[in-house]
Structure 1
C-alpha cells in the first residue's frame, strides 16, 4: 500500500501578499493617469528649458554689458593731456558707450557702475544738467546699491555747486549721513562745514567740523578740520580792548 505525501498549497506571507496587491494598485493607477503624468513631465522639461534659456541669455547680456563698460572706461581713462582734441573724442566715446550700457542692459550687474560713470563723464564734459539727471536716475533705479549711493550723492552735490545751488548741494551732502554703511560720511561732514563757512555761518561750520573730529578722528580730513576749528574760534573770540592812552605828564618847570 502506497502513501501519497500531501504537499500543502503554497501561500504568500501576509506582508508579501499586501506588497503584491499594493504594487498592482500602483501599476493600475499609473496606467490610469499615464497621460496627465506625461503632460506634467513634459511641462517640467519645458520649464527647465525656459529657465536654462533665460539664464543663458542673462549671462550673454551681462557679458556684453561688461565688455562695453570696460571699453568705455578705457576711453575715459586714456584721455591724453597733451592732445585736447583726442581727449575730447575719447570722452565723447566713453559717454556714448556708458549710455548704451544703461539703455540696452539696465538689469545687468554692469549697469549701476555704468550710470555712475556716465554722470562723472558728463560732469567732466561740463554737461552739468545732464550729469545731475544721470545721478538722479541712479538714485531712482539703483538706490539699493549702498556701495555706490554715497558717492553718487557726493558727485550730485558737486554738480549742484557748479551750478551755484548751495542749498541743493547741502541737501545732497546731508543725505550721505543717513545712508547705512556709507564710507564717505567724513567727507560729507567736511564739505558741509565748508559750505557753512562760504555762507558766513561759522556756528554751523564749527558744529560740522567738531562732529567730524569726534566721530572720525582718523579721517584724512580730521587734520584740516582741526585747523579750521582753531581759525573759527579765533574769529569768534572778542578783540582785546584797546589800551587806554597814558595821561599826559605834567610840564616840568624850566631850570634856569
Structure 2
C-alpha cells in the first residue's frame, strides 16, 4: 500500500507543468490570438533597424566622401603652392573644392576641420573677410576644446587688427586672456599690450606686460615684457 501511495504522488508531480513550460504555453496561446498584432509589431521593429542601419551607413559614407574631397583639396593646394610659393594661386586652385565640401558635407568631421584649414589658406591669400567668416563658423563647433578655441580667437583678433577694427580685436584677445586655459594666453596678452599702445592706453598696456612677466613657465614674450616694464 505504501508503494502505491508513493506512485500516486509521483504521478501528480509529473502531471504538474513547470513554470517555464507554463509561461511558454501561455505565450503561444497569446501569440495565436494576437497573430496580426504580433506581425505588425515585429515588422515595425525590423523597419526601425533597417532605417537606423541606412542612416548610419549614410553618415559613414558622407565622412568617407568628405575626407577624400578634403585630402584632394589639400594636396592640390600643396602642389600649386610649391610651384611659386604664391598663396593666392594656391587659394584660387582649391576654393571651389572647399566650397563643394562645405555645401555637401557641412556636418562631417572633415568639413568642420576644413573650416580652420581653409581659413588659414584664405588668410595667407589675404582674403581676410572669408577667413574671418570661416573661423567664426569653426568657433561655434569646437565646444570646450580650449587649444583650438584660443587659436581661433587670436586669429580673429589679428584679422580685426588688419582691418583696423581695434575695439573688436581687443574683445577677442580679452576672451583668451580671461579664459581658464593658458594656451596662447601670452600671445593674446602681448597682442593686447601692443593694441593698448595704439589706443594710447599706457596703463592697460603695462598691465598686460606685467601679466606676461608674472606668468609661470617660459615665454618668448617674457624678455620683451620685462624690458617694456623697466624702461
The structure with the larger Rg is: 1
Unaligned runs of 5+ in 2: none
Give, in whole Å, the separation in 1 of the partners of 2:176 and 2:99. Answer: 26
Q: 1:83 to 1:73 in 2, by over 3 A?
A: closer
Which residue is equivalent to 1:59? 60
The CA deviation at 1:145 is: 5.6
Does the 8 Å contact 1:75/1:94 carry over to 2? yes
The CA deviation at 1:213 is: 2.3
Moved more, 144-153 or 101-110: 144-153
Unaligned runs of 5+ in 1: 1-5, 235-256
Give, in whole Å, the separation in 1 of the partners of 2:194 and 2:85. Answer: 35
Which residue is equivalent to 1:128? 128
Correspondence list, 1:71-150, <5 A: 71-78=72-79, 79-80=81-82, 82=84, 84=86, 88-139=88-139, 141-144=140-143, 146=145, 147-150=147-150
The CA deviation at 1:229 is: 2.2
TM-score, length-scaled by structure 2: 0.83
Aligned residues: 224
Q: 1:73 to 1:228 in 2, by over 3 A?
A: farther
Does the 8 Å contact 2:88/2:124 carry over to 1? no
Which residue is equivalent to 1:32? 33
The 3-state SS of whatever aligns with 2:109 is coil
The CA deviation at 1:108 is: 0.4
TM-score, length-scaled by structure 1: 0.75
- The one-character-per-residue Cα deviations of 1:199-234 (angstroms, maximum 9, x if unpaired) are 33221111111112223432232233222222xxx3
The CA deviation at 1:169 is: 1.0
Moved more, 200-209 or 165-174: 200-209
Give, in whole Å, the separation in 1 of the partners of 2:23 and 2:49. Answer: 33
- The one-character-per-residue Cα deviations of 1:22-44 (angstroms, maximum 9, x if unpaired) are 44323211212222222222222
Q: 1:72 to 1:168 in 2, by over 3 A?
A: same
Task: Compute the RMSD of aligned alpha carbons.
Answer: 2.8
Which residue is equivalent to 1:239? none
Give, in whole Å, the separation in 2 of the partners of 1:23 and 1:104. Answer: 53
More helix by share: 2
Is 1:211 the equivalent of 2:215? no
The CA deviation at 1:180 is: 4.7
